[in-house]
Chains A and B, each alone.
Chain A
Amino acid sequence: MTDTMERILRDHEALVQERGADALHALRTEGIARFKELGFPDTHLEDWRFTNVAPIAKSDLTLGRPSTNGVTPDDVARLGFGGSLVFVDGHYRADLSDAQVGVSLASIRDTIDFELKDDAPAFVALNTAFLEDGAVVEVEGELAEPLHVLFIGTDGKACHPRNVYHVKRNGRAEIVETYVSLGTGEHWTNAVGVVLVSENAALKHTRLQLENESAFHTSNVWVSQARDSRYTSNVVTLGGRLTRNDITAALRGEGSLGTLNGLFMTRGSQHVDNHTLIEHRVPHCESHELYKGILDDASSGVFTGRIHVYEDAQKTDAFQSNANLLLTDTAVMDTQPQLEIYADDVKCSHGATIGQLDEQALFYLRSRGLTKDRARNLLIRAFAGEITKRLDVAAVRERADRLLDSRLPGNEEG
């Protein structure tokens, strides 16, 4: 057994001691047993072929516990967007938050299915083992302002937040999760999100990953959509040393629409892996997916996107696109756009490209007097802009654009 596994078991033991047999106890026990059985995934598993989590398995991180130290309101103002729910190392900090959490995980234990599925991946089992805290939001009617949720990780800590968003019938909401680091050291966020969009409801869900370049980030988001619902996910990854995002959107009610957008820009030796699955379980649903990646230096990226059309899910309309830009010879991109179709009256297509900046476009711009750097940057920004322009919270879009700008050659400030 690895040291990390031992530490995880010790941390779990301590948590059980502390919390006693509360409403989530049985789930935690099941979670740790499953994780013990599965262990850290290795690259022999098809799902992890291109992402090696050995650095996480070898890291020396302890479980984040509730505390009142370390983070100041100034930090929150600097790192967040205001109007936030603030979590430090996975725990809600009422003293730093502007908004109030009305519901606790334990209180929704009976209304939301937390049971581990037979095929639940290792990191979901691990998250379940440490089930304790997270953003739980239930929306009835329309949320006037976007709700910001800020997750601050501190050096040396591992945290396992469980977020639950339920937009009820005819409801409308926009939720922005922002993941940041307080320091520059290693820490690990292993988040699980459960998203329920009820009949005729709509949710826009943005995840902005801006953690430091030593951080590990793993996430699993499950979305379940009811009849005539709308769900939009925007996943923007700029930070983290090793990031793996899994999202599964299940279209369970007729007439629902799921949209998954993603953008990452990596440098140094960053690694970003996005796995998406759209399940068309019933007829007459629509899904759109656009993921883009920009890879600089010796960074690496993975995209695996699957569209699964179930038997009898007729009149499905699904489109998936993945485009990647390699800026150097040392960057590596692996992409697997996949279609699995068991119905005949469907419109499904996917496309994937990997390439470098178009020489002719560069020449065109240079012939009009732009410097090489400016021409290049303009094209990269335009490439990324297709996603950032879809971020409709102005503050979030501007921040993402600013960070992208700062990473372009010639204007690297930070």
Chain B
Amino acid sequence: MAMQDTRPATHEAIQQRIDQEYKWGFVTDIEAESAPPGLNEEIVRFISHKKREPEWLLKWRLKAYRGWLKMKEPHWPNVHYAPIDYQAAIYFSAPKSTDAPKSLDEVDPELLKTYEKLGIPLKEQEMLTGVAVDAVFDSVSVATTYKGKLEEMGIIFSSFGEAVQEQPELVRKYLGSVVPQNDNFYAALNSAVFTDGSFVYIPKGVRCPMELSTYFRINAANTGQFERTLIIADEGAYVSYLEGCTAPMRDENQLHAAVVELVTLDDAEIKYSTVQNWYPGDKNGKGGIFNFVTKRGACRGKRSKISWTQVETGSAITWKYPSCILQGDDSIGEFYSVALTNNYQQADTGTKMVHIGKNTKSTIISKGISAGKGQNTYRGLVKIMPKADNARNYSQCDSLLIGDRCGAHTFPYIDVRNRSAHVEHEASTSKIGEDQIFYCNQRGISTEDAVSMIVNGFAKEVFRELPMEFAVEAQKLLGVSLEGSVG
């Protein structure tokens, strides 16, 4: 029978692809200036002092730290891992040459090489793609390109540390206004020990002419990465922000607990795209990043919009729910996600859409792909508050299973407190069918190409939302992590 004929080839292809090693694992040798391991008030003070922070920010950190001490690590996500020793991690690690470089020429060539291997040569990007990259290398921003150009338009795009020095009022006004210090266990931890991150302010009526981008990368062993991003789009402003993450290969698990806060005022729009490719651990589930992230946007203004797009292919464990608080009337929240788990990866991800204002709309498109022994969970909340007249939500969660030892789970929460609300949720689960592969084989398409085609077709709705250069990278990533692994 023809169907059986395709099987052995298919099987081999799976094995090949599944066995594919992490391509971006290498360690850069740069002397790091680190704090001693462990976490206590002294470390918080040390970080704050190192960053030459004002008194109010130190107090803010300490409040978060004291709150954190009273909190318990959450265990409700559908993920399993050995307990984390928070006292064993190093909470501050900065590349030694911290004299702020004014141009790329001053940047340590070792660093630049690292980025090159990652496929983001700053120079090339600056010249060819016109993307301004604020590269975060182990917590401290080392190079910011295109800053001058943006400054002319009144756009502030800087590292978080710089923003604290130069824009203290803005930072003070918005920091923690979307994700309060003690919002949850990991947000509190981040608030206490965050080292750097990105800060963006788009003034009234300005449309940011280029995509802003940050590449995060965890380098030194045993360092937790706690970056903090704050983006504010003032009335009528627009910005598209890209975030990409990669980490080198390490045996032990590393913790990454970031906080991202977005604020849009009247008629403003923020588009936030993430391609997350932290080290997922080896094929036996050893090592890999614990990615416990709090991302939340507040549509404060009328007719404002926040759109999250994420492609999650990395991390041993992903635990994140980019959310939208739709406060302003007629505001819009969107969430597009592709999450892929292979080998022993686990992902518990989704979104929260809280409708507070009238005529608010939200769309959720989530595509989960599980292969190997990967576990993929969508967990989402759609909440319609009593005053949110005519709120509208559409959610779609699709899962694709590749292999018979993986899992796909869907846990949506829908809470409606207003009758004029219109809320719909749909979910489906499917696999790549033998007949689909057969159909392609019959037409001369190899099994590998067929799988790649089907997976990309499955995730297309989300890729369409990504800026072009990211869409290409995302497709490549999916290919590398998965190519051909059909069961």
- In the complex, chain B residues whose CB is within 8 Å of the CB of A348: 428-429
B287 contacts chain A at the CB level, 8 A cutoff: no
Indicate if A67 sits at the interface (CB-CB under 8 A): no
Within 329-379 of A, Cβ neighbours of B (below 8 Å) are at 329-356
Please, which residue of chain B has its CB at the minimum distance from the CB of A355? B422
Q: Are A343 and B421 in contact (CB under 8 A)?
A: no
Taking a contact as CB atoms under 8 Å apart, the answer to whether B429 and A347 are in contact is: yes
Q: Is the CB of B404 within 8 A of A345?
A: yes
- CB contacts under 8 Å to A, within B409-459, are 409-431
Q: Are A352 and B407 in touch, CB under 8 angstroms?
A: no
Q: Digit string of B377-418 for contact with A (CB within 8 Å is 1, else 0)?
A: 000000000100000000000010111111111111111111
List the A side residues contacting B405 at CB < 8 Å: 311
Determine if A312 is an interface residue (Cβ-Cβ < 8 Å): yes
A-B contact pairs, 7 of them (CB 8 A): A324-B416, A336-B414, A343-B401, A348-B428, A352-B423, A354-B416, A356-B420
Chain B residues close to A by CB (< 8 Å): 76, 386, 399, 401-431, 487
Inter-chain contacts of B402 with A (CB < 8 A)? 344
Q: Which residues of B contact A338 (CB under 8 A)?
A: 409-412
Residue from the set A311, A314, A355 with the largest chain B CB neighbour count within 10 Å:
A355
Q: Are B399's CB and A354's CB within 8 A?
A: no
The answer to whether B430 touches A353, judged by C-beta atoms less than 8 angstroms apart, is: no
Report the minimal beta-carbon distance from B398 to chain A, rounded to whole angstroms.
Answer: 9
Is A107 located at the chain interface by the 8 A CB criterion?
no
Q: Which residues of B contact A145 (CB under 8 A)?
A: none
Q: How large is the interface on A (under 10, 10 to 19, 20 to 34, 35 or more residues)?
A: 35 or more
A333 CA to B430 CA, complexed, in Å: 29
Tell whether, in the assembled complex, residue B427 and residue A351 are in contact, meaning their CB atoms are under 8 Å apart. yes
Inter-chain contact B423/A353, CB cutoff 8 Å: yes
Tell whether A412 is near chain B: CB-to-CB under 8 Å: no
The docked-state distance in angstroms from the alpha carbon of A334 to that of B76 is 19
Q: Do the beta carbons of A335 and B406 come within 8 Å of each other?
A: no
Instruction: Report B-chain residues with C-beta under 8 Å of the C-beta of A339.
Output: 399, 408-410, 427, 429
Residue ID in chain B nearest A348 by CB atoms: B429
The answer to whether A334 touches B424 (Cβ under 8 A) is: no
Contact A355 B431 (CB under 8 A): no
Q: Bound complex: CA of A332 vs CA of B385, how far in Å?
A: 10
B425 and A344: CB pair below 8 A?
Answer: no
The complex places the Cα of A105 from the Cα of B411 at a distance, in Å, of: 38
CB proximity to B under 8 Å, residues A1-35? none
Q: A337-B427, A354-B416 are in contact. List 13 more A-B contacts (CB 8 A).
A: A311-B404, A314-B404, A324-B416, A332-B416, A334-B413, A336-B411, A337-B412, A341-B399, A342-B407, A346-B431, A350-B410, A350-B427, A352-B425
Question: A311-B404, A338-B411 given as contacts; is B419 within 8 A of A328 (CB)?
Answer: yes
- Distance in angstroms between the alpha carbons of A350 and B410 in the assembled complex: 9
Give Cα distance in the complex from A402 to B415, angstroms.
Answer: 30
Majority secondary structure of chain B interface residues (helix, strand, loop or mixed):
strand
Which A residues touch B401, using CB under 8 A?
341, 343-344, 346
Q: How far is the CA of A330 from the CA of B387 in the complex (A)?
A: 11
What secondary structure prevails in chain A residues at the interface with B? strand
Residue of A nearest to B416 (CB): A354
What's the Cα separation between A327 and B428 when bound, in Å? 29
Is A336's CB under 8 angstroms from B419's CB?
Answer: no
Q: Which residues of A contact B418 (CB under 8 A)?
A: 326, 329
Residue from B399, B406, B415, B424 having most chain A Cβ neighbours under 10 A: B415
Once the chains bind, are A346 and B429 in contact (CB under 8 Å)?
Answer: yes
Once A344-B403, A345-B431 are accepted as A-B contacts, the answer to whether A337 and B408 lie under 8 Å apart by CB is: no
Q: Do residues A352 and B414 form an inter-chain contact, with CB atoms below 8 A?
A: yes
Q: In the docked arrangement, what's the CA distance between A339 and B379, Å? A: 11
Question: How far in angstroms is the closest Cβ of chain A from B333?
Answer: 18
B408 vs chain A, min Cβ distance (A): 5
Whether A110 sits at the interface, judged by CB under 8 Å, is: no
A46 at the interface (CB under 8 A from B): yes
Contact B416 A333 (CB under 8 A): yes
| CA A349 to CA B428, docked complex, whole Å | 4
In the complex, chain B residues whose CB is within 8 Å of the CB of A330: 386
Smallest distance from the beta carbon of A305 to chain B beta carbons, Å?
11
Chain A proximity of B433: nearest CB distance (Å):
9
Interfacial chain A residues near B427, Cβ < 8 Å: 337, 339, 349-351
Smallest CB separation, B20 vs chain A (Å): 20
- Please name all residues of chain B whose beta carbon is closer than 8 Å to the beta carbon of A328 when the two chains form the complex: 419
Partner of B419, one of A327, A335, A344, A351: A327
- Nearest residue (CB) in B for A333 is B416
Decide: A335 and B414 in contact? CB cutoff 8 A. Answer: yes
Nearest A residue to B396, CB-CB: A351
Given A346-B429, A348-B428, A354-B423: A326 touches B416 (CB 8 Å cut-off)? yes
Instruction: Give A342 to B428 CA distance when docked, in angstroms.
Output: 14
Which residues of chain B are near A46, meaning CB under 8 Å? 76
Among B410, B412, B417, B424, residue most surrounded by chain A Cβ atoms (within 10 Å): B410
How many Å lie between the Cα of A344 and that of B402 in the bound state? 7
* Nearest A residue (CB) for B413: A336
* A331 x B419 contact (CB < 8 A): yes
Q: Which residues of B contact A337 (CB under 8 A)?
A: 410, 412, 425, 427
Chain B residues with CB under 8 Å of A345's CB are: 404, 431
How far apart are the CA atoms of A337 and B397 in the complex, in Å? 12
Contact between chains at B429 and A351 (CB < 8 Å): no
Min distance, Cβ B25 to any Cβ of chain A, angstroms = 29
A residues less than 8 Å from B404 (CB atoms): 311-312, 314, 343-345
Contacts of B419 in A (CB 8 A): 326-329, 331, 356
**A355 contacts B411, CB within 8 Å?**
no
Q: Which of A274-312 contact B (CB under 8 A)?
A: 311-312
A326-B421, A351-B425, A356-B419 known; A344 vs B414 contact (CB < 8 Å): no
Known A-B contacts A338-B410, A338-B411, A341-B401; the reply to A355 vs B423 at CB < 8 A is: yes
Given known pairs A351-B426, A355-B423, the reply for A341 and B407 (CB within 8 Å) is yes
